[in-house]
Amino acid sequence: MLDRLTLLLRLLSVFYTCLATAHAAAQEPLVPQAYKVGDKVPVTCLNRTVETGEHITDLEGHLSYIPFWTCAETQRPLELLFGIDTEQNCTIDFVSDPFFHLLEFYVHNDAPLTCRIPSRPLPPSALKDEFEKGVTDTTEGQGSLSEVYTPLVVALAGTLQLSHLHVSAGMNVLVHAAPRSVAPGTIAAATAYSISRDPPTRIVIGDPLPLRFSVRWYPNTSLPSGWTGVGGHLTFSTVVYCGLSALASAAICVAYFRGVELPRRLKSHGKDRLGGMERGGSGLGGYGLNGGSVNGGFGYGPGKRD
């Protein structure tokens, strides 16, 4: 009897343990399948060796990704805000000796700064690993066309010197979202590259590295029309601007003519007519239409008597 009771208690204990585990799993919030505007998108980068710049893999051959370097402004690794165009600063406080050598690989293009961002929101557990310790890429067999992550290759430009580096710290980041009709709230493509807007930053071991990101989002995988060469290009806005400018110029000319020039000309013309009439009246007497000048001037009066 006692053995049966003990067995029953054990079975009940196992049942309640399984029930509690299932309840805890059910309490984990459901992960949305799409980003919303303003959601944070974590950036992780391929872990590389300092000696050769080769990527690091685990025992099973999977690539190892680690979080982007911590930004002094947020005390967190770099994050993008889904769908928001913004200017982000990410200052790496201290360039260590290993990081300096990695920068040499990146600037000299011996090894690319290969990063990635989740194409869709990650589960909470995976997101925690993404920020704290990084994760291995278990989709390596799919190459760069993984449905979980979107590649973000950072083309970092600069020059190598004997004792220091010059790094173009200003970066453009372009991110394409998939069309809403296809996959709303999903990232389709991304890239980043240095720009020469500001002078390059001189870096030695121990210095901070102030990275400046200009992030732009596009609602589809098409780029808007841009500059087509010297002389610009004709767009609808240019045509409208020219048309409005012509109308404004015509209105100003009409207003000036009717308000200033036309009254002045009418006044001048009126004075000329009045002056002509006055000059014509005094001349009539010269032609013998007044009094005795008629008789004496043209001889219409009585002739000479014999």
pLDDT in tens, 71-82: 999 999 999 999
What is the pLDDT confidence band of residue 124, given thresholds at 50, 70 and 90? confident
Q: Report the alpha-carbon distance of residue 286 to residue 297 in Å, rounded.
A: 8
Q: In what order do the strands lie in the sheet with 165-167?
A: 158-160, 165-167, 201-203
| Contacts for 260 with CB less than 8 Å, ≥ 6 apart | none
Q: What is the pLDDT of residue 26?
A: 46
240 and 206 fall within a common domain:
no
238 and 193 fall within a common domain:
no
DSSP state of 140: G
Q: Report the alpha-carbon distance of residue 63 to residue 136 in Å, rounded.
A: 5
Instruction: Give the mean model confidence (pLDDT) for residues 173-178.
Output: 95
240 and 91 fall within a common domain:
no
Task: Report if residue 225 sits inside a domain.
Answer: no
Task: Report if residue 292 sits inside a domain.
Answer: no
Q: Does the pLDDT at position 291 exceed 50?
A: no
Say which residue, 43 or 132, is predicted with more confidence.
43
Residue showing tokens 């013309």:
269
35 and 181 fall within a common domain:
yes
Q: What is the pLDDT of residue 257?
A: 79
Say which residue, 294 or 167, is predicted with more confidence.
167
Q: Does the pLDDT at position 168 exceed 70?
A: yes
Of 127-131, 151-155, 178-182, 222-226, the one with minimum mean pLDDT is: 127-131
Of 57-61, 98-102, 148-152, 273-277, the one with minimum mean pLDDT is: 273-277
Q: Phi first, then psi: give them for residue 36, nearest 5 degrees.
A: -110, 160
Task: Report if residue 63 sits inside a domain.
Answer: yes
Q: Does the pLDDT at position 144 exceed 70?
A: no
How many structural domains comprise the chain? 2
61 and 187 fall within a common domain:
yes
Say which residue, 277 or 57, is predicted with more confidence.
57
212 and 250 fall within a common domain:
no
Dihedral sign of CA atoms 248, 249, 255, 258 in order: negative
Task: Report if residue 299 sits inside a domain.
Answer: no
Q: Does the pLDDT at position 222 exceed 80?
A: yes
143 — alpha (psi -120 to 50), left (phi > 0) or beta? left
Q: Report the alpha-carbon distance of residue 93 to residue 113 in Å, rounded.
A: 19
- Residue 107 and residue 157 in contact, taking contact as beta carbons nearer than 8 Å: yes
> In terms of residue numbers, what domain contains 253?
234-268
Q: Does the pLDDT at position 246 exceed 80?
A: yes
Task: For the beta carbon of residue 7, count every other beta carbon within 10 angstroms.
Answer: 10
Residue showing tokens 């002045």:
264
- What is the average pLDDT value for the chain, to the nearest integer? 78
Q: Report the alpha-carbon distance of residue 131 to residue 135 in Å, rounded.
A: 9
